[in-house]
């Protein structure tokens, strides 16, 4: 399969058309962004870490029966994925209170949720990805009622599979974001699963091992991504 032209460039990835109509190349860039792109740095090695971590986690999910767009890792920074029509919603699962939930609701950071919380957000940077009630997702026709149920079920399965796997590697899965798309009417998990899109905390020490190190200027940003890769691939 050969890359032909870039179809879509986001903040952290480029999606390339290929000579196969049903496939794309997803290339991970070295750009780190936060706060809707207002904080931006180029960080050597980041694209490779995210491609390799994402590939591992997609393979793990496929083995557990989750339908994902991942086909094959083809280079340090690239994977082949199936071409999807993406829904304009982001699905977030929270096991432990952090980030926007703490800011928005004044919840105590670190509070545990069992069962976990599943939330929907509108994928729109200009509007700063606002949170949506399920009724909004339905009324704005961002997803059908069936798709909403399938996304919730799938997100909780991903949480069980990833959470269990990471726990064995000494990592607590605090929260994460998923994006889904459709292929021939079937709902498929797309995008990436990496320390950019998840919160990972060391189970023993609570040390932050994800993009919060960049968001909060904590230092040791790439060292943490390297350690996540070492642990998930060991
Ligand atoms: P939040 O606490 O900022 O709402 O983030 C929840 C989770 O979703 C966290 O693991 C980071 C991830 N996330 C993204 O991947 N992209 C985004 O644009 C946002 C807002 C969050
Ligand atoms: N809003 C997300 C974050 O704070 C992503 C971004 O704005 O680039 O990480």
Q: Can you state the percent helix, strand and coil of the chain, rounding each to 5?
A: 30, 35, 30
Half-sphere exposure of 119 (CA within 13 A, CB side): 19
Name the domain boundary from 66, 82, 98: 82
Q: In a 3-state reduction of DSSP, which class is residue 145?
A: helix
Residue 13: how many CB atoms within 10 A of its CB? 21
Asked if residue 73 and residue 89 are part of one domain, the reply reads: no
Asked if residue 207 and residue 115 are part of one domain, the reply reads: yes
User: Which residue has the least CA distance to atom 15 on ligand 1?
Assistant: 197
CATH number assigned to the domain comprising residue 21: 3.30.200.20
Q: How many domains does the chain have?
A: 2
Per the structure, the complete domain to which residue 36 belongs is given by 3-82
pLDDT in tens, the chain (234 residues): 899 999 999 999 999 999 999 999 999 999 999 998 899 999 999 999 999 999 999 999 999 999 999 999 999 999 999 999 999 999 999 999 999 999 999 999 999 999 999 999 999 989 999 999 999 999 999 999 999 999 999 999 999 999 999 999 999 999 999 999 999 999 999 999 999 999 999 999 999 999 999 999 999 999 999 999 999 999
Asked if residue 90 and residue 49 are part of one domain, the reply reads: no
From the list 212, 231, 196, 215, the residue with the least C-alpha distance to 29 is: 196
User: Which residue has the least CA distance to atom 3 on ligand 2?
Assistant: 34
Distances (CA, A) of 175 to 44, 64, 95, 99, 158: 25, 20, 6, 9, 11
CA 36 to ligand 1: nearest atom = 18
Name the domain boundary from 26, 51, 82: 82
Q: Is the CB of 22 under 6 A from ligand 2?
A: no
Asked if residue 130 and residue 66 are part of one domain, the reply reads: no
């Amino acid at each position: 399969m050969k890359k032909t032209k870039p179809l879509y460039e986001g903040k952290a990835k480029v999606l390339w058309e290929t000579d196969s109509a049903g496939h794309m190349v997803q290339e991970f860039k070295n750009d780190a962004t936060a706060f809707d792109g207002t904080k931006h740095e180029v960080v050597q090695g980041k694209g490779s870490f995210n491609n390799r971590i994402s590939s591992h986690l997609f393979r793990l999910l496929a083995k557990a029966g989750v339908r994902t767009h991942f086909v094959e890792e083809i280079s340090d920074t690239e994977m082949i994925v199936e071409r999807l029509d993406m829904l304009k919603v982001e699905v977030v699962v929270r096991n432990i209170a952090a980030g926007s939930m703490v800011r928005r609701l004044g919840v105590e950071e670190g509070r545990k949720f069992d069962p976990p919380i599943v939330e929907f957000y509108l994928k729109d940077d200009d509007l700063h990805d606002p949170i949506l009630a399920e009724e909004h997702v339905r009324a704005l026709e961002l997803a059908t009622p069936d798709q909403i149920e399938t996304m919730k079920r799938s997100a909780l399965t991903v949480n069980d599979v990833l959470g269990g796997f990471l726990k064995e590697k000494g990592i607590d899965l605090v929260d994460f974001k998923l994006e889904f798309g459709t292929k021939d009417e079937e709902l498929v998990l797309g995008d990436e699963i990496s320390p950019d899109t998840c919160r990972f905390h060391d189970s023993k020490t609570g040390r932050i091992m994800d993009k919060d190190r960049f968001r909060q200027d904590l230092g040791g940003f790439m060292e943490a991504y390297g350690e996540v890769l070492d642990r998930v691939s060991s």
